[in-house]
């Protein structure tokens, strides 16, 4: 092996190790978020009061980030509400975190009420969704947590009742 081949191999190996280290660090950061900050958060509710995330710990959770100005978010809202109605009896909790202002959310929910809890995350919801694995910070973004508080599924973009149900059944079976 000549020096050039050796140097290229060393560069490739270093890049591979760097990528693996970045991935490990990213996974550790996501795991530490689940262990602490997410569950310590509180969000105002559109109807008044607070959504206290600590009260949801230990339950399977579907967390959806949405906004009234986001067409795919609005389109998937009935699918998420249908999931809530179908899986609440099995112990599932559904939370919608609105990356939006209080007035548009209240007006939207007056026109299209949902049965699940909604919290007002404001623009800070984008940062939270990024820490949960939404690298683009785009909407809608959905994360599913098992009873241990670990993220088991993530989806950037519109989801469906069928997809959410398949995820939930997988979690319940494990």
Domain that holds residue 72: 37-173
Look at residue 29 and tell me if it is in a domain. no
Distance CA 4, CA 45 (A): 62
Q: What is the pLDDT of residues 117-135, one digit of tens each?
A: 999 999 999 999 999 999 9
The 10 Å CB-count burial string (b at 16+, else e) for 14-41 is eeeeeeeeeeeeeeeebeebbeeebbee
Q: Does residue 9 fall inside a structural domain?
A: no
| pTM of the full structure | 0.79
Q: 17 lies in a domain?
A: no
Helices (H) and strands (E) in the chain, counts: 6, 7
Q: Is residue 30 included in any domain, yes or no? A: no
Number of domain units in the chain: 1
CATH number of the domain at 46, please: 3.40.30.10
1 sits in which H/E element: none
Residue 41 domain flag: yes
* Tens digits of residue pLDDT in 17-63: 344 333 434 444 344 444 457 999 999 999 999 999 999 999 999 99
- Ranges assigned E (strand) in 18-147: 42-44, 50-52, 61-66, 93-98, 117-120, 141-145
Tell me the pLDDT band of 3, cut-offs 50, 70 and 90.
Answer: low
- Please provide the DSSP assignment of 91-107 as one string: T-EEEEEESS-HHHHHH
Is 107 domain-assigned? yes
pLDDT digits (tens, 9 = 90+) for 67-84: 999 999 999 999 999 999
Strand partners of residue 20? none
- What the block records as the tokens of 115 is 């049965």
Q: Please report whether residue 12 resides in a domain.
A: no
Whether residue 168 lies inside any domain: the answer is: yes
């Amino acid at each position: 092996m000549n020096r050039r081949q050796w140097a290229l191999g060393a560069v490739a190996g270093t890049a591979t190790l760097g990528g693996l280290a970045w991935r490990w660090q990213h996974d550790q950061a996501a795991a530490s978020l689940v262990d602490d900050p997410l569950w310590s958060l509180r969000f105002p509710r559109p109807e008044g009061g607070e959504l206290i995330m600590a009260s949801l710990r230990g339950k399977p959770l579907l967390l959806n980030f949405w906004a009234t100005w986001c067409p795919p978010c609005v389109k998937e809202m009935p699918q998420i509400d249908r999931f809530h109605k179908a899986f609440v009896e099995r112990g599932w909790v559904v939370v919608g975190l609105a990356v939006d202002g209080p007035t548009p959310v209240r007006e939207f929910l007056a026109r299209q009420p949902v049965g699940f809890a909604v919290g007002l995350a404001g623009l800070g919801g984008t940062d939270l969704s990024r820490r949960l694995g939404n690298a683009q910070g785009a909407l809608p973004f959905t994360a599913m947590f098992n009873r241990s508080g670990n993220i088991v599924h993530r989806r950037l973009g519109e989801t469906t009742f069928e997809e959410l149900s398949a995820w939930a059944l997988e979690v319940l079976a494990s």
